């Protein structure tokens, strides 16, 4: 069976492009000129487009449940090899992209002085980034958006740890009929929605984002076509918790995460998760989305710097620079995907059976 999931491909493709456009609107001098031509669009991209991160959080949880515990029980008793595989698959391309980012920043620094340029890195920054703890230690990021890579790894480790602990404490869970993993995830989702996600001081920790990530995990479990009764009850419980949390304090990001989780669960139950939308363009943009995400900021910095130094200070010319930067982010992201991400990612890729 084809392992591609077209609906998830569409979410990842659109989400990645929104993040690129958000960075182009938020960082660098070119967007200031574009704002004169398209103020509403630039303001929306700079402020609201970043909520596409919620789609990635939900999708990441959905796919983590699919690979780790498709029936609600961790597939293996050994968690550390899975954690290493995840690290190698995610962090190795990310570390390579940081080297590119440092070089690109120095090139951009040659052509412009701007507050979008990160400071020159030191060894401590590299170490904390390599260990994916720079957000926890409040270390300045070497590139915009790399906080998400650290949070994604934290979330995966948190979910894996919960699943492993349930399996250890309840050996009967190995049979696949125990529901304690679901209960634990629901409790942590509730803790995130009602407490941690309401306090920005927690936004460097996985628990702040686990509401959205856990919705994705639960969306996989509730959408099992062979388990309609229990899945429906669990789904109604999760939706109820989310609506109650939103009534307590409205957060558009959580409402968006809930919407994405509901559509993911529906797509699997209804059978179109594997079939819609059929688009080779979206499928390809999805495949390169991680590399585009990793490289878009440093590439955009270089284009911003070149246009700042060499191009006329004219709104139309600078807006053309924004368009060219967007194209460059995708083209160089695709090149990085094929030349670097695919090769390094094999170190963290373990074969797994397909799951319907």
Which residues are CB-contacts of 71 (< 8 A; sequence separation ≥ 6)?
Answer: 176, 224
pLDDT of 355 higher than 70: no
Domain boundaries, the chain: 6-348
pLDDT of 1 higher than 60: no
Which single residue is written with the structure tokens 């999931």? 5
Q: Region of 176 please: left (phi>0), alpha (psi -120 to 50) or beta.
A: left
Cβ neighbour number for residue 59 with a 10 Å cutoff: 24
Percent over 90 (pLDDT), the chain = 76
pTM of the full structure: 0.92
Does an H or E element contain 242, and which?
helix 228-248
Query: Residue 353's pLDDT band (boundaries 50, 70, 90)?
Result: very low
pLDDT of 356 higher than 50: no
pLDDT of 172 higher than 90: no
Pick the more confident residue, 240 or 75: 240
How many whole angstroms separate alpha carbon 254 and alpha carbon 190? 12
Distance from the Cα of residue 28 to its chain's centroid? 23
pLDDT of 230 higher than 80: no
**Torsion angles phi and psi, residue 29, rounded to 5:** -75, -25
Average pLDDT over residues 142-147: 90
Of 219-233, 268-282, 316-330, where does mean pLDDT reach its minimum?
Answer: 219-233
* pLDDT given for residue 346 in this prediction: 74
Average pLDDT over all residues of the chain: 91
Summarised one tens digit per residue, pLDDT across range 28-68 is: 899 999 999 999 999 999 999 999 999 999 999 999 999 99
* pLDDT given for residue 171 in this prediction: 66
Cβ pair 20, 296 in contact under 8 A: yes
Cβ pair 189, 57 in contact under 8 A: no
- Return the structure tokens found at 28: 């660098």
pLDDT of 293 higher than 50: yes
Query: Residue 286's pLDDT band (boundaries 50, 70, 90)?
Result: very high
Instruction: Please give the DSSP secondary-structure letter assigned to residue 29.
Output: S
Percent over 70 (pLDDT), the chain = 94
* pLDDT given for residue 282 in this prediction: 96
Average pLDDT over residues 327-337: 97
Instruction: Please give the DSSP secondary-structure letter assigned to residue 311.
Output: S
């Amino acid at each position: 069976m084809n392992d591609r999931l077209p609906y998830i491909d569409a979410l990842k493709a659109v989400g990645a492009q929104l993040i690129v456009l958000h960075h182009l609107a938020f960082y660098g001098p070119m967007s200031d000129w574009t704002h004169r031509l398209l103020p509403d669009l630039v303001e929306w991209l700079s402020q609201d487009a970043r909520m596409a991160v919620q789609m990635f959080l939900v999708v990441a949880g959905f796919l983590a449940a699919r690979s780790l515990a498709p029936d609600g029980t961790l597939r293996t008793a050994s968690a550390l090899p899975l954690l290493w595989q995840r690290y190698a698959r995610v962090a190795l391309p990310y570390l390579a992209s940081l080297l590119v980012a440092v070089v690109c920043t120095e090139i951009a620094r040659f052509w412009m002085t701007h507050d979008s340029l990160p400071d020159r890195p030191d060894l401590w920054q590299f170490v904390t980034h390599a260990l994916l703890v720079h957000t926890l230690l409040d270390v300045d990021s070497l590139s915009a958006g790399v906080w998400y890579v650290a949070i994604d790894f934290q979330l995966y480790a948190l979910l894996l740890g919960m699943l492993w602990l349930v399996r250890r404490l309840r050996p009967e869970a190995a049979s696949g009929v125990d529901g304690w993993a679901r209960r634990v995830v629901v409790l942590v989702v509730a803790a995130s929605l009602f407490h941690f996600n309401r306090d920005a001081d927690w936004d460097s920790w996985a628990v702040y984002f686990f509401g959205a990530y856990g919705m994705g995990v639960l969306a996989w479990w509730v959408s099992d076509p062979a388990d309609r009764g229990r899945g429906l009850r669990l789904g109604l419980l999760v939706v109820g918790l989310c609506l109650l949390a939103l009534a307590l304090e409205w957060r558009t990001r959580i409402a968006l995460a809930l919407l994405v989780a509901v559509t993911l669960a529906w797509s699997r139950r209804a059978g179109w998760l594997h079939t819609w939308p059929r688009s080779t363009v979206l499928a390809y943009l999805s495949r390169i989305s991680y590399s585009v995400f990793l490289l878009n900021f440093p590439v955009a910095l270089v284009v911003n710097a070149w246009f700042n130094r060499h191009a006329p200070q004219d709104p139309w010319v600078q807006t053309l620079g924004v368009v060219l930067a967007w194209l460059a982010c995708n083209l160089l992201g695709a090149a990085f995907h094929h030349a670097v991400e695919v090769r390094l990612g094999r170190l963290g890729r373990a074969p797994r059976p397909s799951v319907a």
